[in-house]
Amino acid sequence: MPLFVRINESARSIVGHADLGIKLGFAMPMQAAIGTDLPDPEENEALAELEDKIIETVTYGAEGIHVLTLTNAAMKELVFYIKPGADIAAMHESLRGLDISHDVQCQAVWDREWNTFLQFLPDRDGG
């Protein structure tokens, strides 16, 4: 299944930052199945407002950086690296409490070396 990746290239300069060791992900399972391996364009576009709310919530509730947005036919996930101490459960509950049509899932794990981000980061020469 194809995966569309949006990378925050500005995060390249702080990869592995000692204070930002928690990888925080918010995922929204896609609901529309169009019988292909590609996300439904209308549903993907409809998630833009929810993406903005997630970024706003994390920006307000944690110190960190949004590094990736991953999209395929099954889900869309926003990935952040944040400092310890944020109330992740409260952020998740506030997002789940919105009047929205998509479930918002949350996962936070230690990733001090930013391995997830590095997995998607291309070489500077584009390779």
| Domain carrying residue 36 | 4-120
Q: What is the mean pLDDT of residues 20-26?
A: 97
**Cβ-based neighbours of 16, under 8 Å, separated by 6 or more:** 112, 113, 114
pLDDT tens digits along 103-125: 899 999 999 999 999 999 887 66
Q: What is the mean pLDDT of residues 5-19?
A: 94
> Based on the structure, what is the number of domains in the chain?
1
Distance CA 38, CA 4 (A): 9
The reply to whether 126 falls in a domain is no
34: pLDDT strictly greater than 70: no
Tokens of 95: 């997002």
Confidence of residue 126 (pLDDT cuts 50, 70, 90): low
The reply to whether 127 falls in a domain is no
Closest to 36 (Cα-Cα) out of 5, 70, 73, 3: 73
Tell me, what CATH number does 54's domain have?
3.30.70
Please give the pLDDT value at position 104. Answer: 93
The reply to whether 125 falls in a domain is no
* Helix residue spans in 24-101 (DSSP H): 41-46, 48-61, 88-96
